[in-house]
Amino acid sequence: MSPRIHSNSKQGLLRIVLVLGLSLASAPSAHTHTSLQFQLNEIAAKHHGKVALFAENLKTGQTAQIDPDAPVPTASVIKLTILLEAIDEIRNGTASLDETIVLKKADQVAGSGMLGLMDVPMALTLKDVLTLMIVVSDNTATNLMIDRFGLDKINAHTRSLGLKDTYLYKKVYRAPVPPVPPDQPKFGLGKTTAREMALVIEKIGLCQLGTPSHPSVPSDAALCDAMLSMLRNQFYRDGIPRYLEGLDSSEQGSAIANKTGAVDAARSDVALVASKNGLIVISAFTYENTDHSYSSDDEGDVTIAKLGKAIVQAWSPSGLDAGAFAEARRSGYAKAHP
> pLDDT tens, 152-188?
999 999 999 999 999 999 999 999 999 999 999 999 9
This prediction's pTM: 0.88
The pLDDT confidence band at residue 272, using thresholds 50, 70 and 90, is very high
Please say if the pLDDT value at position 26 is more than 50: no
Q: Give the Cα separation of 167 and 159 in Å (integer).
A: 9
The pLDDT confidence band at residue 317, using thresholds 50, 70 and 90, is very high
Compute the average pLDDT of residues 189-208: 97
Please say if the pLDDT value at position 23 is more than 50: no
Check residues 6 and 57 and name the one with the higher pLDDT.
57
3-state SS assignment for residue 262: strand
The pLDDT confidence band at residue 242, using thresholds 50, 70 and 90, is very high
pLDDT of res. 250:
59
The pLDDT confidence band at residue 3, using thresholds 50, 70 and 90, is very low
Compute the average pLDDT of residues 226-239: 96
The pLDDT confidence band at residue 30, using thresholds 50, 70 and 90, is low
Please say if the pLDDT value at position 61 is more than 70: yes
Determine how many CB atoms are found less than 10 A away from the CB of residue 3.
4
pLDDT of res. 34:
81
Q: Give the Cα separation of 37 and 292 in Å (integer).
A: 27
Considering the chain, what is the average pLDDT of its residues?
A: 90
Q: Give the Cα separation of 1 and 199 in Å (integer).
A: 61
Please tell me the least confidently modeled range out of 2-16, 36-50, 136-150.
Answer: 2-16
Check residues 10 and 94 and name the one with the higher pLDDT.
94
Please say if the pLDDT value at position 215 is more than 80: yes
Q: How many residues are present in the chain? A: 338
Please say if the pLDDT value at position 302 is more than 70: yes
Q: Give the Cα separation of 195 and 63 in Å (integer).
A: 11
Compute the average pLDDT of residues 267-271: 98
The beta strands (E) that lie in 105-264 are given as 122-125, 167-168, 190-192, 256-263
Please give the CATH architecture assigned to the domain spanning 30-90+149-331: 3-Layer(aba) Sandwich (3.40)
Please say if the pLDDT value at position 27 is more than 70: no
Please tell me the least confidently modeled range out of 81-85, 196-200, 244-248.
Answer: 244-248
Q: Which DSSP string do the residues of 153-192 spell out, in sequence order? A: HHHHHHHHTT-SS-EE-S-TTSPPPSSPPTTHHHHTTEEE
Please say if the pLDDT value at position 14 is more than 90: no
pLDDT above 90 coverage of the chain, percent: 81
Q: Which of 270, 256, 258, 264 is nearest to 300 (CA)?
A: 264
Neighbouring residues of 225: CB distance < 8 A, sequence distance ≥ 6: none
The pLDDT confidence band at residue 252, using thresholds 50, 70 and 90, is confident
Compute the average pLDDT of residues 86-97: 96
pLDDT above 70 coverage of the chain, percent: 87
Please say if the pLDDT value at position 1 is more than 50: no
Determine how many CB atoms are found less than 10 A away from the CB of residue 179.
6
pLDDT of res. 334:
53
pLDDT of res. 70:
98
Please say if the pLDDT value at position 6 is more than 50: no
Compute the average pLDDT of residues 20-45: 70
